[in-house]
Structure 1
Amino acid sequence: MNPNDLASGKGDRDENFPVASFLVKAEHRALVKAFYRFARASDDIADHPTAEPEHKLALLAAMRAGLTGEGAPEAMALRDAMAERGMDLVHAHDLLEAFTRDVTVKRYQTWDELIDYCRVSAMPVGRFVLDVHRESRETWHGNDALCAALQIINHLQDCAKDFRQLGRVYIPLETGLNVEELGADKASAQLRRIIAELARRTRQLLAESAGFSRRIRDRRLCAEVAVIQRLAESLCDRLERRDPLSENVHHGKVEALWLATGAALPALLRRAA
């Protein structure tokens, strides 16, 4: 199977949260998008519904090889772009660890195990963007809380699809989850309680990240993070009230724009003042 056959066709405009939006300075946008293309290609490999695990792992190994030598073109392009900035590739390597787990790990027993997965699957993305903007690493605590929250929100939104298409379950089994219920057309009362409780735990992470955007020096990145924080809070509201197996828990484009504007403008005006 050719690696291109595993591509989902998904792009940065299809993500639940902004990727290198107009709020990010033009001088940084190309590097952020190079990182996104590397991550998207790796994610498509790990999430392909029919490719054999051995084949996926071989392609992910080619991604890792491309970070240091000859390998996947997306990885080599990212390596060259980061070399121009003198940046370390640690965040890209962490992401590949997450995608490898996606192939080899199908269940998480505890909340702590899920957070450890977020440590390599989500936190490196925010840390990379902060490093691109030369922000202080003192911002990493807020970043890590926000990125973990975003990852868990995505897992809850897509819990049925992940199970049906990939046999993968990110809801911790310690919650009392009956895994087979994820294949139903509608969530049971128990599953709804589990999802709502996980959404509330995720809201605690968002409470930790609430002041994160204000600690970012770059005014435009500050606004982008404020937007992401607001979108995540709104999605937690939905997950507490709606059933992701039978109801829409994603934002429409108009709604997302409205929420983003309401978060970005105050952040920009606050910095301007």
Structure 2
Amino acid sequence: MSATLQTATEARSGKGHKDENFPVASHLIHPRNRGAILAFYDFVRAGDDVADHTTLAPERKVELLDVLADALTGKGPSDPEAEPLKRELLARGLPATHALELLDAFRLDAVKNRYADWDDLIAYCRLSAMPVGRYVLDVHGEDARVVWGPSDAICAALQIINHLQDCGKDFVRNDRVYLPQETLDKHGAAISDLGAAKASPALRAVIRELAERTMGLLDEGAVLPDLIADLRLSLEIAAIHRLAVVLCRGLMERDPLSEKVHHGKAAFALTALGGIATTLARRPLRGRTLRRHALGGRA
């Protein structure tokens, strides 16, 4: 692809929602909401492909992301990547805030390729991951005061799991390192270790520590399926959470540079079904969970 791309469409990688590590608007989601979620995904995917493009200059990436933002908000000309989401937002009376925050994350990706510490990484997740969950919850009419907090924790965890799984690819392909420098220094690991065929013991220690911290985020968000009013969305999130826990445990034990961490299709389905079954069994106790959550977790 040439560095003279004129639109975000020309930067598209061809990757779709079925290629993601976690389900995106699976058929658990009610048909009335799947279109709105897929429109959001497609818009965000277009921005992500711009940010990840290997030959575009950083300033050109930012320009193309600005064009997407202006098309979505109506400040600029129409863009085919923005129109489906723009229609969904208008039909549902939702703001463009969550999508625009994702574009802010992609602008960061265009100009920033290192992270100082855990807090720096979480601040990135606030833009790159948390708005995704918030948008899905808003589409379903869930109470933001109840569900945004645990959703933020799960979404940050999903993002970091992806970073850990792809740490070698991100470094080799885009010279991008999401592993915090503070954690690398703590274990005596070098950024150049990410370019090896196999992780060094020091890099494995870094990945293990970050996976353990990520498991803490998943623990924080574990209550989310029980807080959600929409049963189908509750089951979708339960499946995603269970898959994330298994992946996170895998990252504590396996080397993402040389070993496959992700599930096969059969294991993927069984793990997801386990999360769904557990949430269904707890569903009659949802009222009690809501009351306990409102009291800050106290019985």
- TM-score, normalised with respect to structure 1: 0.97
Correspondence 1:168-183 to 2 at 5 A: 168-175=176-183, 176=185, 177-183=189-195
Q: Secondary structure at the match of 1:74?
A: coil
Cα distance in 1 for partners of 2:107, 2:101 equals 10
Q: Say whether residues 1:18 and 2:30 are aligned partners.
A: no
Which residue pairs with 1:46 in the alignment? 51
Q: What per-residue deviation string (whole Å, max 9, x for no partner) do you get for residues 159-182 of structure 1?
A: 000000000000000011411110
Q: Aligned-pair distance for 1:266?
A: 3.0
Cα distance in 1 for partners of 2:129, 2:177 equals 17
Give the unaligned 5+ runs of structure 1: none
Q: Say whether residues 1:257 and 2:264 are aligned partners.
A: no
Q: Say whether residues 1:117 and 2:124 are aligned partners.
A: yes
Q: Secondary structure at the match of 2:82?
A: helix
Partner amino acid, structure 1, of 2:36: L
Partner amino acid, structure 2, of 1:219: L
Q: Secondary structure at the match of 2:154?
A: helix
Q: Aligned-pair distance for 1:272?
A: 6.8
Correspondence 1:184-263 to 2 at 5 A: 184-263=196-275
Partner amino acid, structure 1, of 2:204: R
Give the unaligned 5+ runs of structure 2: 286-299
Cα distance in 1 for partners of 2:169, 2:151 equals 27
1:64/1:71 contact within 8 Å kept: no
Note closer, same or farther for the CA distance 1:173–1:71 as it changes in structure 2 (3 Å cut). Answer: farther
Q: What per-residue deviation string (whole Å, max 9, x for no partner) do you get for residues 220-257 of structure 1?
A: 11101100110000001110000011010111222111
User: What's the Cα RMSD here?
Assistant: 1.3
Cα distance in 2 for partners of 1:142, 1:94 equals 19
Partner amino acid, structure 1, of 2:79: A
Cα distance in 2 for partners of 1:203, 1:270 equals 22
Correspondence 1:135-146 to 2 at 5 A: 135-137=142-144, 138-146=146-154
Cα distance in 2 for partners of 1:236, 1:200 equals 8
Cα distance in 2 for partners of 1:170, 1:194 equals 12
2:153/2:218 contact within 8 Å kept: yes
Cα distance in 2 for partners of 1:221, 1:267 equals 11
- TM-score, normalised with respect to structure 2: 0.89
% identity of equivalent residues = 52
Q: Aligned-pair distance for 1:56?
A: 1.3
Q: Aligned-pair distance for 1:54?
A: 2.2
1:62/1:71 contact within 8 Å kept: no
Which residue pairs with 2:67 in the alignment? 62
Which residue pairs with 1:150 in the alignment? 158
